[in-house]
Structure 1
Amino acid sequence: MEEAVHADEGELLVCRSLNVQRTQEDNWLRHNIFHTRCTCRGKVCDVIIDGGSFENVISSDMVEKLQLKTEDHPHPYGLTWLEKKKEIKVSKRCLVQFSIGGKYKDEVMCDVVPMDACHLLLGRPWQYDRKTLHDGYKNTYSFVKDDVKIVLVPTRLDASLKPSKGMKNTLLSKSEILRELQHIKQGYILVMLEANGE
């Protein structure tokens, strides 16, 4: 016997944690949403895939820095995040061309909003359009694009590499520098040497 189960009704309580870093090696997939990196106009950008987001979103900082062309949103709307009192007016959108790895290239229409959780957030519209399948255990997204099966694998982000708000620099160890160099094509490193009292 099959019985349809409908959602509860009443005032909605929403509590979402975007980026919780855990120290235990064995369960980092269990406690983190999907993070990866893409390339857009030759620059590496942070990406989050979130099935709870109703729209695809691009950071207004990314739009500005990469000088991406925007257009007026056909249906502007207000966006509230954590506090109902602080509403953001979403009035622009942008067609974003990006690639992940060597095999997946795409373009997605995104709403432009100020955010610092990532540069590009792929929400339900991207998942729907690509007919993605999410493996919750491995935290992978698979789909077929241009007759090629794509499996997106999450990137493990190291919280120590992210500067806290307001910081202008981050000091890295040699191993952290070598690990980060694997993800970029070109970069600059400032090396500080300690003088021996001279």
Structure 2
Amino acid sequence: MVKKLGLPMLKHSRLYKLQWLNDSGEIRVNKQVLVAFRIGKYEDEVLCDVVPMQAGHLLLWRPWQFDRHVKHDGFTNKYSFVLNQRTITLVPLTPQQVYEDQVRLQKESDQKKDSEQKKKSEN
């Protein structure tokens, strides 16, 4: 995703290794990227560690939650915090939204594969 979006990467200030993320053993985490994102009307930036994976999701973990004093409702899986004296509540996708997202991603993946196969056959 980082390469696809052309996001500039930074050297990670604290190098570390991850295991069990894929079948090839450990992965060195040595890059970070500042990602601007929007969820509805809420806009923010978060500094993310970069690892190679087949996913297109932004995972907002403890540093983001801590920095914004986020409260998590484990029953509803909603995240709430105050920004500019307004309460912001982030809600999970509905099953229908998840399905539509998966269909869209699969279609994009299929189109990319078709395009690559077409280029190979033309050469």
Q: Please give the range of the TM-score, normalised by the shorter of the 2 chains.
A: 0.7 to 0.9
5+ residue gaps, structure 1: 1-61, 170-198
**In structure 2, what is the Cα distance between the partners aligned to 1:68 and 1:91?**
15
**Code of the aligned partner of 2:106:** P
The one-letter code sitting in structure 2 at the alignment partner of 1:78 is K
The structural deviation recorded for 1:119 is 2.6
Equivalent of 1:90 in 29, 42, 58: 29
**Aligned residue among 106, 109, 118 for 1:163:** 106
Question: Which is higher, the Rg of structure 1 or of structure 2?
Answer: 1
Q: After the TM superposition, which parts of structure 1 deviate over 4 Å for at least 4 consecutive aligned residues?
A: 82-85
Separation (CA, whole Å) in 1 of partners of 2:48 and 2:21: 21
> What's the counterpart of residue 57 of structure 2?
119
Letter in 2 for 1:158: Y
Match of 1:70 in 2: 9
SS of residue matched to 2:63: helix
Equivalent-residue separation in structure 1 for 2:77 and 2:106 (angstroms): 26
Give the TM-score normalised by structure 2.
Answer: 0.74
Could you tell me how far apart the structure 2 residues matched to 1:117 and 1:125 are?
Answer: 21
Q: 1:114 to 1:143 in 2, by over 3 A?
A: same
Structure 1 residues 151, 89: closer, same or farther in 2, change over 3 A? same
Within 2, Cα distance between the matches of 1:113 and 1:128? 22
Shift of 1:84: 8.8
Percent of residue pairs bearing the same amino acid type: 50
Letter in 1 for 2:99: D
Q: CA deviation at 1:132?
A: 1.0
1:107 maps onto 2:49 in alignment: no
Greater relative contact order structure (CA < 8 Å, 6+ sep)? 1
Aligned residues: 105
- Residue by residue over 1:31-81, the C-alpha shift from the partner in whole angstroms, topping out at 9 and shown as x without a partner, is xxxxxxxxxxxxxxxxxxxxxxxxxxxxxxx21111111110011110112
Q: More helix by proportion, 1 or 2?
A: 2
User: Do residues 154 (structure 1) and 92 (structure 2) align?
Assistant: yes
The structure in which a higher percent of residues are strand is: 2
1:103-153 CA deviation, whole Å, 9 max, x = no partner? x11111110111224431111111111111111221110001222210001
